[in-house]
Amino acid sequence: MSDSAIQLRPDIPEQLPAIAVKNAVVFPIPNLPVPLAVGRGKTMKAIESAADEAGMVFVVTQRDPDEEDPEPEDLYTFGAVCRILRLTRSIDQSHELLIEGVCRARVSRFLADDDHLRVEVAPILEDRPADPELSALVLNLKELASKVIQLSPRIPDEALSVIEGIDDAGHLTDLVASQLRIDVAQKQRLLETWDVKPRLQRVIEHLAHEAAILEISGKIRSDVRDSLDKHQREVYLREQLKAIRRELGDDDLDDDDLDDLTLRVEEAGMPEAALKAARKELRRLGRMNPQSAEFTVARSYVDWLLDIPWSERTEDNLDVRNAAALLDEEHYGLQKVKRRITEYLAVRKLKGDMKGPILCLVGPPGVGKTSLGRSVARALGREFVRISLGGVRDEAEIRGHRRTYVGALPGRFVQGLKKAGSRNPVFVLDEIDKLGNDFRGDPSSALLEVLDPEQNNSFSDHYLEVPLDLSEVLFITTANRLDTIPPPLRDRMEVIEIPGYIDEEKLAIARQHLLPRQLEAHGLEPAAVTFDEPALMRVVNEYTREAGVRTLNRQLAAVLRSVARDVATGDVDLPVAVDPDRIRAALGPQKYFPEAKEDVGMPGVAVGLAWTPVGGEILFIETTAMHGSGRLTLTGQLGEVMKESAHAAMSYIHARAEALDIDEEMFSKRNFHLHLPSGAIPKDGPSAGVTIVTALASLLTDTPMKDGLAMTGEITLRGVVLPVGGIKEKVLAASRAGIDAIILPKRNAGDLEEIPKHLREHMTFHLVERIDEVLKLALGLEVGRKRKKKRRPRAGGKGETTAMA
């Protein structure tokens, strides 16, 4: 609003007492008295103050009608300056004030007054241009007003003569606006529209809308009146409802649809709680407008209840031998998992009502954990559902959303049952170790009920809000590591560890599964390509380094693509023999080299074994000494636990210096540097303790470590070798690297039973309890015996000893 619209009027004081009104907007209409019900203390004080002054009061609407003592921020800033005509008092304090509007005004500021509201006002001069457009708008408004008066039974016909007798556009607009059936906020916007022409246009829009509604209402009343049975009130109400739906186009759900839904609910085999909830929603549907948002929510809820297979189940294939043969056909190895599945089938065959087990397959990527779940479902004759949990952070993904939210859906388990169409499918919960949590909840906590056999027979989904029986579902979860799974969740699962494959197993998997699959994918007949064993072994050893077979599968695909190209262009004759030369042409230069073939025959270097999420690895530890003050430097991106192991190893060597025949001055006049290559890869854990001790002892005694030997184990300052984990993966890594002797903690002797028999027969395992035994096996040192001192070479004349791998 421009300042030119605000003008001082001598007949209106700058400061006025103010009255706050509820649920009403007073328009400044001359010669039209407006009655107001008043009674609040501040209101009466304001009226008394106005009577003592100019007899005028400022009437303003409050934003919240429930506020009994409104503050300035609770009031609109536009209102009407009114002249008080009469105050009629009554005994019950509900007085009636009769006022007449003078002009619009805006509050410049609210004044401080304890007794009543008082404001400083700026009167608004309305712009009334005399132009043809304004006259046309006035004529249109009068026509619409006449139409509404004729259609509305609540407006007397005398109102039409009043409308026709007003020529002033502003006064006519305000009169019609005051009678419109619109909310207070819309009327307030009309009051704040000081320019007559825009205000006139808005009033016309509201009046046209009201005229349209009255026309439709009249048609509905006419339709109902024709079929009205005066003696049956219920028939009248139903006919009127049908007429309303027909007019609005909302006759989507007729009686036949409702009857069909009712029949389906009764035949769905729901438990009592679900049946009760479905019947309740059906009764609500019968009373709802099909176009309302609530109708859609209720209909979707009933549809979800009907989609759940409450009584549908598949018959298990209880032929144990057949199931075992099918698992062997689709997966090589993995004997623990296969045995556990056949045990479950055997018990089901004998007992009949066994609850489904909850298995957790833990192993490196690419060993077949997820595909094994699909094979289990096929062996059992059940439906298969895979649910990926990697990166899931919202609890509603597990339990569903409550129906109060827009777009609410059940959780993934309810959706999985709908997809399966049976109540006893195989659910594979993939990547359960990669669940997250944030402000939306903790999905791993929600899974506690799902994966607990004692609770999941009455699982509660927030969307359904009825108990759901998941006890017949066979849950198989997969993970790469256990330490990221919360202990309460881990405790509910039967953990089966799946180790990485050795080279022989990879060759067998490539022959039996990968090559036939890739030949079919590339349109090649099995007889068209020959893949000899040396060529396959070259792909395994020189182009892959993994615990599983995913990279191997991709590399075989790359080789066969090159064969397919040559066959398609006619450059080769069939059959095509894949030899090392073709592999190099397809895959490029050798990518991986056996680490054990590097030169470790220098003092200060030791070979250890490490566990990683993708399998085992061999680990080189290098040490060197130089002039200094006894400081130990550690590099190679070591974790805190490994750093502590290094300091413990150094302390042990220092404490046993005399027994190892090491000059004490070495610890005060030399600095030591311990390094683990592959510095970009973080390394941690205590299992490198024996390797670090051996590397430092090798450096300080100038004794190289024996070839073909690797080790693992945690150490203590007392010289005890403690057990570690991942023995099978570490032994497999040593085998791949060509190492034939391994030093292990004696307490890990039981883990050797998991090592393949042919490896146990061809490798030597030294089980030790103390570090002294490790040094004797690795360096040939007899701790405590005097040995002949060797002359240590000096580098550059300064006595510097360096070991590099």
What are residue 671's DSSP bridge partners?
626
Distance CA 265, CA 282 (A): 9
Longest dimension (CA), the chain: 131
- 621 neighbors 608 (Cβ within 8 angstroms): yes
- The two tokens of residue 81 are 């300056």
Distance CA 281, CA 284 (A): 5
Peptide bond into 682 cis (omega under 30): no
Q: List the catalytic residue out of 375, 645, 730, 735.
A: 730
User: Which residues touch 117 (CB under 8 Å, ≥6 apart)?
Assistant: 17, 18, 19, 20, 42, 46, 72, 75, 110
Query: Rounded to 5 degrees, what angle do the CA atoms 450, 456, 461 make?
Result: 70
Going by the DSSP 8-state scheme, the letter that residue 784 receives in this structure is T
Query: Rounded to 5 degrees, what angle do the CA atoms 711, 713, 717 make?
Result: 125
**What is the enclosing helix (H) or strand (E) of 444?**
helix 443-450
Distance CA 670, CA 412 (A): 63
- Tokens 């043969």 sit on residue: 325
- 417 neighbors 310 (Cβ within 8 angstroms): no
108 is catalytic: no
- Tokens 């030997």 sit on residue: 709
Calculate Rg over the CA atoms of the chain. 44
Side chain identity, residue 332: Y
Burial class (CB in 10 A: 0-12, 13-18, 19+), 717: exposed
- The two tokens of residue 423 are 């109540």
- The two tokens of residue 20 are 């706050």
Q: List the catalytic residue out of 687, 698, 728, 735.
A: 687
730 is catalytic: yes
Distance CA 370, CA 283 (A): 45
**Pick from 451, 289, 436: nearest CA to 355:** 451
- The two tokens of residue 417 are 């049952």
The SS3 assignment for 108 reads strand
What are residue 124's DSSP bridge partners?
6
- 587 neighbors 539 (Cβ within 8 angstroms): yes
- 29 neighbors 59 (Cβ within 8 angstroms): no
**Pick from 620, 697, 621, 628: nearest CA to 657:** 697
- Tokens 């130990």 sit on residue: 632
- Tokens 């004030």 sit on residue: 97
The SS3 assignment for 630 reads coil
**E strand map for 188-285:** none
How far apart, in Å, do the first and last CA atoms of the chain sit? 84
Phi, psi of 676, deg, nearest 5: -115, 120
- The two tokens of residue 667 are 């610890």
**Residue 124: alpha-carbon gap to chain centroid:** 56
- The two tokens of residue 156 are 């007397």
Q: Checking phi first, is residue 322 left (phi over 0); if not, alpha (psi -120 to 50) or beta?
A: alpha
Residue numbers annotated as active site: 687, 730
